[in-house]
Structure 1
């Protein structure tokens, strides 16, 4: 848990450790996501788990924005921006894809926790965003996209049971 505070900060305190994009992906996959799931399953800490996953998602969104900003800066700097790029300036498409797909995984994990907590509308919104990302990145029939669609179906079924 302490490592999460160092990487993500705490409330108004900025993070003490600044990770590169791929290191942030690995930290989130190997530490933060399992920590959130463990906190939920072992200690029934739904709010803590949701907050950690939300913070992770926000950090990954900032990383995504930095990729977009880099591309926009390079496009405005030269009409033929590909020729103007130096090797150290190239956007790493693999890292960008990993960041985006991890963000989708975090959204789905949050949706599943919200499903268990009975917050179907919020979970449904997150799940729809996850499906959109995965459909664009992986395709409509990819196993991860289909898994998120099943999570969405569960959310919709549970919400409809309560409304009736």
Structure 2
């Protein structure tokens, strides 16, 4: 097993990391659910970048989103970044690979949880603003948009639960 370093014997760079108890099933499922929650909005953005009608007129796509143009790179890049970020919680439930020390990973996870809550609240403000409502050309398109982006609002709660589970398991060792 792993022996904790004492004041006289600091933890060396090559020392094994402390063993953390396996994640409970619910935490593993929540971490995987976060990755799945990011998929619908990413597919919606990629469809928009590909020229599929998603509810915006051609003029709005050109003037507001710069599609076609650099807006395509931005929208596809945002989709890829969101999905990569949604995979981060899998590190908190993985038994195999830990790229960071547990204390660093825990601090990063708590920071991510707080940021996700703030971003979700901000997105609600943006979604209900008058300007965001005026760009959509139909109620059907707006409904599809809500269905694509609604799963993202589950991510802050799921991230907080998975982070809590990781911190609890880390403290228990």
**Range class of TM-score, shorter chain:** 0.3 to 0.5
Q: TM-score, normalised by structure 2?
A: 0.39
**Normalising by structure 1, what TM-score?**
0.40
Tell me: higher relative CO, structure 1 or 2? Use CA pairs within 8 A at least 6 residues apart: 2
Higher alpha-carbon Rg: 2
